[in-house]
Amino acid sequence: MKSIIANPVNQMKKKSSFAGNVLPILFAIVPFTLASQPLINSTPLTFKVVNENLISVNESGVRAGLLYDAETNQIVWKKDIDYAYPIASLTKMMVALLVLEDIQNCNADWNDKLELKNTIITRVKKRKVCKVVHDTYSLDAMLHLAMIVSHNEACNVIARHLSGTVEAFVERMNARASELNMTNTFFSNPNGLPAMRSEHDNHSSAKDILILALELLKYPELTAISRIGYDQIASERSSSIYRNHNRLVIDFENEVDGLKTGYTRNARYCLAASAIKNGRRLIAIAIGAPSKNSRADFVASLFNSYYDLMEVGRLGFTDEQYQAYRENKARKEGISEVATLDTRPQPVLKTVWSREKILHSVRNGENLSAISQKYSCSVSELKKWNKLKNSFIVKGQKLVVYTMVKKQIEVDDDQLQPGDSEEEIAESANQEKSSAAGIEAGEAITERKIFYIVQPGDTLWNIARKHNGLTVEELRKINNLDPKEVLKPGMKLKVINEG
């Protein structure tokens, strides 16, 4: 059951017949008591809710959710936002709020020392050996563990540090939820783990999680933590690098900056995320998604659909890329955003190569050697560009790569060089369209020869199928392949030879 905070004034009236004499004394004491407590804004947050959703997204499989526009103070998309569901580790958002409020009110300090028990598992002669190690972390590092790694025991340690016992801290969590007018919220523990009985699991509604998110965003210290994709967290013994469970802060660096993920079997996959694009702040909540990827994709679709509607942009797109996206979308819909004038001369395009900086997302099993082969650079160059001290990389990590990129530029007729005939330029443009995903899909076009870069899982048979009229035998003959030779990702195969 929820913790109920009794009103001391009402209790005094009931217990004493001398209320008229006692109340003045009570009010004289209250200011001194309040001065030592966190300064809380008890005014409930209010926001508007649209009658009909402004955007359309695929909501199948998601129990509840919403999208909030901070500029209009309006929920612009919603699904079952007032019903309480299990929320798993979204619970840790309330833990973070109480930490931040205690620090602001000088009841705690970022440098406070907290002890955490870590279990180290090793194998000795095929036997699993568990060793418990006591580590000391700062309160700052402990909050990083809670928000980035979703470390459950770290939340219990924080609870005991701030309130003496876990039970007392949980009472504070429920009291703070009540003060914020989170009417459909209940906490039984500080970490979101399942309770002994499922009806006692931590639960909340999408609207209540939005209230909590808005309160958290008042503290820039919080987003400075939650926006980190790969976080190096140090104790007094050692330090380790951890990957944020919120994939969106890695996929859309500097645009998605929070907030928290959650998962248990009862809650399924949950995410409270915040994004800011060209100054427009959005908050999205997804509760009960069927999988880890679907929850991230769903929230990303909420952000992009609304940003697109407001013509703000799209996550991961530069302004130029977004403009090209809109023009392409208009063409597909049969709507021309630019008036067609027959008298206007058509632009003359020339294909050029330029050296540009791109970001490569590390795939599962990739190493620096494979990446250097893909982009025709050296391992030492990769290390230099990314300031790497060693060759250790992890899945999803973003690496800076400088590579040659083909593009078309508009030129005057007199700027065309010999061989740059309009027919060749048109042919080049057609090749560009047919290999729009050239670098990623694996095709590289050079003069009169076409090569294919082998991708993970490729076989000679499926490569031959991608190129009409080509057989497996011809592929072997063109590339001088031994029948026993195994294809490796990154290999370059010649698929056409006209010369």
Among 59-63, 386-390, 475-479, the range of highest mean pLDDT: 59-63
- Report the pLDDT value the prediction gives residue 40, as an integer from 0 to 100: 45
- Report the pLDDT value the prediction gives residue 354, as an integer from 0 to 100: 62
- Report the pLDDT value the prediction gives residue 431, as an integer from 0 to 100: 41
**Enclosing H/E stretch for 406:** strand 398-411
Q: Hey, what are 84's tokens?
A: 């309480």
What's the CA gap between 200 and 325, in Å, rounded?
A: 48
Residue spans of beta strands (DSSP E) within 87-214? 113-124, 127-138, 203-204
Contact 407, 354 (CB under 8 A): yes
In terms of pLDDT, which residue wins out, 224 or 330?
A: 224
- Report the pLDDT value the prediction gives residue 406, as an integer from 0 to 100: 62
Contact 425, 462 (CB under 8 A): no
SS3 assignment, position 10: helix
pLDDT tens digits, 125-180: 778 788 788 889 999 999 999 999 999 999 999 999 999 999 999 999 999 999 99
What's the CA gap between 448 and 129, in Å, rounded?
A: 61
Average pLDDT over residues 280-290: 96
Burial of 279 (0-12, 13-18, 19+ CB in 10 A): exposed
pLDDT at 38 over 70: no
328: β partners: none
pLDDT at 224 over 50: yes
pLDDT at 313 over 70: yes
Place of tokens 């949950």: 270
- Report the pLDDT value the prediction gives residue 456, as an integer from 0 to 100: 66
pLDDT at 481 over 60: yes
pLDDT at 197 over 90: no
In terms of pLDDT, which residue wins out, 474 or 201?
A: 201
Q: Hey, what are 45's tokens?
A: 């947050």
**% residues pLDDT > 70 (the chain):** 75
pLDDT band at 497; cut points 50, 70, 90:
very low
Average pLDDT over residues 28-47: 46
pLDDT at 32 over 50: no
Q: Hey, what are 416's tokens?
A: 């065309």
Among 61-75, 109-123, 127-141, the range of highest mean pLDDT: 61-75
In terms of pLDDT, which residue wins out, 287 or 414?
A: 287
pLDDT tens digits, 242-271: 999 999 999 999 999 989 999 999 999 999
Contact 114, 157 (CB under 8 A): yes
pLDDT at 280 over 60: yes
- Report the pLDDT value the prediction gives residue 87, as an integer from 0 to 100: 96
Nearest alpha carbon to residue 241 among 145, 118, 328? 145
Which residues, other chains included, contact 497 with Cβ-Cβ below 8 Å and sequence gap of 6+? Answer: 449, 478
Contact 201, 188 (CB under 8 A): yes
pLDDT at 240 over 70: yes
- Report the pLDDT value the prediction gives residue 157, as an integer from 0 to 100: 95
What's the CA gap between 279 and 285, in Å, rounded?
A: 20
pLDDT at 449 over 90: no
Domain covering 48-309: architecture: 3-Layer(aba) Sandwich (3.40)
- Report the pLDDT value the prediction gives residue 237, as an integer from 0 to 100: 85
Nearest alpha carbon to residue 359 among 451, 231, 277, 253? 253
In terms of pLDDT, which residue wins out, 405 or 4?
A: 405
- Report the pLDDT value the prediction gives residue 365, as an integer from 0 to 100: 82
- Report the pLDDT value the prediction gives residue 499, as an integer from 0 to 100: 38
pLDDT at 13 over 80: no
- Report the pLDDT value the prediction gives residue 350, as an integer from 0 to 100: 58
Mean residue pLDDT of the chain comes to 78
- Report the pLDDT value the prediction gives residue 122, as an integer from 0 to 100: 76
Among 61-75, 300-314, 426-440, the range scoring the smallest mean pLDDT is 426-440
Nearest alpha carbon to residue 475 among 457, 494, 497? 494
Among 77-91, 208-222, 237-251, 402-416, the range scoring the smallest mean pLDDT is 402-416
What's the CA gap between 174 and 104, in Å, rounded?
A: 20
Torsion sign (Cα): 212, 213, 218, 220: positive
**% residues pLDDT > 90 (the chain):** 47
pLDDT band at 188; cut points 50, 70, 90:
very high
- Report the pLDDT value the prediction gives residue 347, as an integer from 0 to 100: 59
- Report the pLDDT value the prediction gives residue 352, as an integer from 0 to 100: 58
In terms of pLDDT, which residue wins out, 69 or 372?
A: 69
